[in-house]
Chains A and B, each alone.
Chain A
Amino acid sequence: MAIELKGVSKSYGSIQAVKEVDLSIPGGCLFGLIGPDGAGKTTMFRLITTLLIPDKGTVTVFGLNSVKNYREIRMFTGYMPGRFSLYPDLTVEENLSFYATIFGTSIRQHYSFIEPVYGMLEPFKNRLARNLSGGMKQKLALSCALIHNPKLLVLDEPTTGVDAVSRKEFWDTLNLLKKSGMSVIVSTPYMDEATRCDRIAMMQQGVVMVDDTPAAVLGAFHKPLFEIRSENRFLLLQSLRSIAGVKRAYLFGRSVHVTLESETADRVWLIEQLKKQGIDNPAISAIAADFEDCFIEAVEDDNVNNKAE
């Protein structure tokens, strides 16, 4: 295992950001930590990159303890924080040289590692970092994280607020880095990006709810799930919520996704119930869950369990 967390907790005052997390991340894979803002993703990354000390539990990175051996871990770890953290009043090249010097290397020595990313930025190497566009800032930050040829690359929400096209390109780059042998760990609030990872962990309120391959996470959703369409979605949604026996109903694009209380209730039952609500001829099909369905399921079942306690 590249990274192992055992019984890890971390609090800030009265806020418990990470709660008793056990998680193993294999080496050489593209690992996605998926969850909304406030789930604890950044705290997890700061613990892994030795920037925070756990209150409880241990973090092991490539066999090294995050507290005792933090210097060694830092030498082979590249970290790209969520907020742009380079020097705005240095040029592109100056920022990169600065990072290279910290790690006892030079741009020239490790040029081949950053070339796929830095190549596009090099024509602007004399520009001040503050004058770069969002996409260019991101490329510079990634170049700086790669300059010492790390074997572990940790990226905190690199695609947040980035448009759908640029997000796809960024994931392509990460895939290339992984193929070169690097262990890459990425956090994201976009559930659909789970498909781009070899393994994922879904996090909410400091807890890792699910940890597996994307296919296994989808496969574990074994309740019948229905996609329902009708002329007026909002009306459909409200009608579905008022039917006893409908467990959950949520908007999904043009349709509403529905799970039922009873395993035996089916399409025919749904059509009947909707007819009573005055909705005729809804289009209903049984579908496979996507990652958002799985996340909602995990969160809500978790809430139910908490209430029961």
Chain B
Amino acid sequence: MNNQSIIRVRDLVKKFGDFVANDHLSFDVYEGEIFGFLGANGAGKTTTIRILCGLSLPTSGKLEIAGYNIYTQREFIKRNIGYMSQKFSLYEDLTIKENIRFYGGIYGLSTATIKRKTDELILELGLDEIANNLVRDLPLGWRQKVAFSVAVFHEPKIVFLDEPTGGVDPVTRRQFWEHIYRAASRGITVFVTTHYMDEAEYCERVSIMAEGRIEALDTPENLKKLYDVGTMDEVFLKIARKG
């Protein structure tokens, strides 16, 4: 990790009518970092993520994502990021192979590249025997691995993971994080939300949101020191209870 900002947010405000969902957020995410974006339900996380992905415009504020302006270059932003959510990342009625090819096509990779990378990926995931099975028939843990691989298939600069491990068993959850580490070691910046507080410890830095504001942002170690507690769970409780 170096200190080159890949996400730069200054005074981000997003209002829905009178409701202020994001209240003057300012933060940086550095290139190659695993950044945890935490907060209670309703704290405003989803609103921020939608803006960072170029899906929604801020009410005001200055934002640069992967070097692109959020107001004028959103199509470039979309091409340079990957996104995975717990819910709908894959087409259940397509096979594993078809899903991968479909996403490769959307991101404009050439047919030859898609073919080569698809074969590589299927081998890497150990899915060669079931590559032509429908995604619907895959166990959840496998689906999530495929969904993640699809999200980073076009080698984006940043990948956004919205609760990627919800409901997954402890072994698969850890294997998933090993995939995340591997992606980060290739230089992909990882922006991740989670309700598992042990996963907050896997991040290099975490921010914690409450009522539309970022209440804390630092390494897990520093946050625990700052709040004088032993676990991220306690840090989270102290901050979110305040809200």
Contacts and interface: CB of A to CB of B under 8 A. Distances in A.
Contacts, number: 88
A166 interface: yes
B171 A165 contact: no
Contacts of B172: 36
Contacts of A295: 169-170
Interface string B119-137: 0000000000000000000
B24 interface: no
Interface residues of B, number: 37
A270 to B, nearest CB: 20
Contact of A234 (B163, B171, B178): B178
B237 A300 contact: no
Given A36-B167, A253-B198, A166 B41 contact: yes
B174 interface: yes
Interface stretch (A86-94, A155-163, A175-183): A155-163
B177 interface: yes
B169 A204 contact: yes
A36 B169 contact: yes
Contacts of B168: 36-37, 189
A164 B237 contact: yes
Interface of A: 35-39, 133-135, 160-168, 189-191, 204, 233-234, 237, 250-254, 292, 295-296, 299-300
Given A234-B181, A296-B170, 16 more contacts: A36-B169, A36-B172, A37-B140, A37-B168, A133-B42, A135-B42, A160-B166, A161-B163, A163-B39, A164-B195, A164-B197, A165-B236, A165-B241, A204-B169, A254-B220, A295-B169
26 contacts: A36-B140, A36-B168, A37-B167, A133-B42, A134-B42, A135-B42, A161-B195, A163-B41, A163-B43, A164-B40, A164-B240, A165-B240, A166-B41, A189-B167, A189-B169, A234-B178, A250-B170, A251-B177, A251-B178, A251-B202, A253-B201, A253-B202, A253-B231, A299-B170, A299-B171, A300-B171
